[in-house]
Each structure stands twice: as structure tokens, then as C-alpha cells.
Amino acid sequence: FTPAAFADPNSGPLYLQLHRRIAEAIAAGDLRPGDSLPSEREMAALTGLSRVTVRKGVEALVASGQLVQKRGSGTFVAPQVERLEQALSLLTSFTEDMQRRGMQVESRWLARGLHTPAPEEVMALGLGANDRVARLERVRSSDGVPLAIERASLPARLLPDPETVDASLYAVLEARGNRPVRAVQRISAANLGPKDADLLGVATGAAGLRIERLSYLPSGQVVEFTRSLYRGDAYDFAVELKLAP
Ligand code: 16G
């Protein structure tokens, strides 16, 4: 993709003309997901536009999710995600779901430690006055594509050493005889705010699915209170319905 020189004063603001050209190149397949764009300096030289104008045009495409910027390595056409169909009636972990599909799992840790619980954690986990909470916050990706942000809270009693969780939380719980056997979930629609959208590599305001999960031990004790944000463009949640009795 080499943008040619242009500057048509009758076609609206110059940065929008550049925006339109790049968007058209993506739509036409001249620029494909993952392709890198020329640098700001190169684009300015090729188009005859100022670097400020080039930056404005590129920023608008980043904001709309069509381009992604990676610090240090440049600007790329956003990767296309294949929608994943996820059964809602099975209590599985992210790692198990991805492994079953033969996909790689990566987690980027945002936070991992013991804390004084917030009131909603006290209520969800049924904590006592002096109980602590283990918090695990991470961006879950598969095959290099960020799919969800997960913020899990567990009673510190069940996970006194959250920093030992590296790949799979459920694998750690299982090894300690604390694998949840039942869960309830609530799903609602959410537009992603700037921080979460950035973590997921989508445009601010893009559609997301907020999922809250409470999972239980056989004893009825809550193991996990997890709030997740899934990319709306990446998931289909499917469930089988039975005739009402
Ligand atoms: C799933 C669960 C999440 C759980 C995680 C454990 C949903 C909405 N959430 O992503 O509650 O903490 O799996 O995954 O399904 P891990 O064992 O790979 O760490």
C-alpha cells in the first residue's frame, strides 16, 4: 500500500481524505489484516500531506478499530477475528475452551495479589470481617488476539498465594481439590470504555459482553466471583433450550 500524492481542497478535510483512502484500501483487500502501514514520515512524503494531518487520519482509523498501533513497531491493519461459538451450559475454563479448539492461550497479567475486599466482593464471596481476597486481573488472548478481560476475586483462604497462578486458575484450584462444580452467570451488554477497549485492541465504544460468574464448591461455598468483558465481535454464546415443564 503506497498512498499517492493528493490534496483536493474540494473533498473535505485532508485528514478525512486520507482516512477514506486507507479505509477503502482495507475494504478492497489492498490492505489485509496484519499488514503494516508506511511510517508517518513516509506517508507524509508519499501524499504531500503534513505529518500532523497524517497522524490525525491514522488516529481516526485507530479509534474506529480499523488500524492498531503497536508501540515501537508501527501501525497495522487490525487483525480480523473469527467468531467463536461458546456453549453456555458447560462449566469450563478459558484454558480448557481454547485447548479444546486447538488454539494457543496467552494471558497478560494486569494485577495479581491479596487485598482488603471491596463491599461487593464481601457480599459475593460471603466473606467475614477480617477475610482477605485474592484478585487476578488479566487479558486473555488466543492465537495472539485479545478476547476478554477477566477480573477474578477468590477468598484468600482458598488461594493464599495468587502469584502462583500462571496459566490456568482452574488447574490450580483443581490440584488443590477446590475445582468449582457449579456456577451461575449473568451476561449483559456493555460498550467498552477507552481503557478496556485499548486492552482488547478495539475502538472505544465497541460492543462488549459483560459476564459475571459466581462459582461454587460442592459444599455450596463460593470459590470465585469473576467479572469479565468479552469482545462482542468475537463471541457467540449458545445454549440449548428445553420445553418448559
Ligand atoms: C473462564 C471463566 C472465568 C474463570 C476462567 C478460568 C467465563 C465467563 N469465565 O474464563 O470465570 O476464572 O475461565 O480460566 O467463562 P483459566 O483456568 O484458564 O485460568
Q: At what angle do helices 51-63 and 14-28 cross, to 10 degrees?
A: 50
On whether residue 1 sits in a domain, the answer given is no
What pLDDT is attached to residue 5? Answer: 67
Looking at the structure of the chain, the number of domains it has is 2
The per-residue pLDDT for range 140-184, each reduced to its tens digit, is 999 888 999 999 999 999 999 999 999 999 999 999 999 999 999
**Same-domain pairing of 50 and 21:** yes
Neighbouring residues of 114: CB distance < 8 A, sequence distance ≥ 6: 132, 133, 134, 135, 156, 160, 162
DSSP single-letter state for residue 36? B
pLDDT, tens digit, 9 for 90 and up, residues 74-105:
999 987 778 999 999 999 999 999 999 999 99
Alpha-carbon separation of residue 51 from 43, 54, 108 (angstroms): 8, 5, 33
ipTM value for the complex: 0.98
Atom of ligand 1 nearest to the CA of 172: 17
Residue type, 127: L
In a mutational test of the pocket of ligand 1, which residue from 170, 181, 214, 224 has the highest number of ligand atoms less than 8 Å from its CB? 170
Which one is predicted more confidently, 141 or 11?
141
* Residue 208 located in a structural domain: yes
- Residues 161, 218: one domain? yes
Closest-lying ligand 1 atom to the alpha carbon of residue 213: 11
Residues 212 and 95 in one domain: yes
Q: Which atom of ligand 1 is nearest to the CA of 226?
A: 11
Identify the residue whose C-alpha is closest to ligand 1 atom 16: 168
CA 221, CA 172: separation in Å to the nearest integer?
17
**197 CA from centroid of ligand 1 (Å):** 20
Q: What is the pLDDT of residues 199-234, one digit of tens each?
A: 998 877 889 999 999 999 999 999 999 999 999 999
Measured from the CB, is residue 152 less than 6 Å from ligand 1? Answer: yes
Q: Output the residue whose Cα is nearest ligand 1's atom 10.
A: 94
pLDDT at 64 over 80: no
Q: Is 95 in the pocket of ligand 1 (CB under 6 A)?
A: yes
Residues in the chain: 245
Same domain flag for 31 and 123: no
- Span 11-29, average pLDDT: 86
Longest dimension (CA), the chain: 72
Judge if 62 and 95 occupy the same domain.
no
170 lines ligand 1 (CB under 6 A): yes
Indicate whether 174 and 96 sit together in one domain. Answer: yes
Residue 44 belongs to domain with CATH number: 1.10.10.10
Q: Are residues 97 and 210 in the same domain?
A: yes
Residues 54 and 94 both lie in one domain: no
d(CA 191, ligand 1 centre) in Å? 21
Instruction: Find the domain containing 115 and state its range.
Output: 84-238
Q: Which long-range contacts (CB under 8 A, 24 or more apart) does 41-46 make?
A: 43/3, 43/18, 46/2, 46/3, 46/4, 46/5
Which residue's alpha carbon is nearest to atom 13 within ligand 1? Answer: 93
Which residue has the least CA distance to atom 5 on ligand 1? 93
Residue 178: CATH number of its domain: 3.40.1410.10
Q: Is residue 44 part of a domain?
A: yes
Considering only residues 5 and 115, tell me which one the structure prediction assigns the higher pLDDT. 115
Last residue of a domain, one of 37, 61, 77: 77
Quick one: average pLDDT of 32-48? 91
Is 2 part of a structural domain of the chain?
no
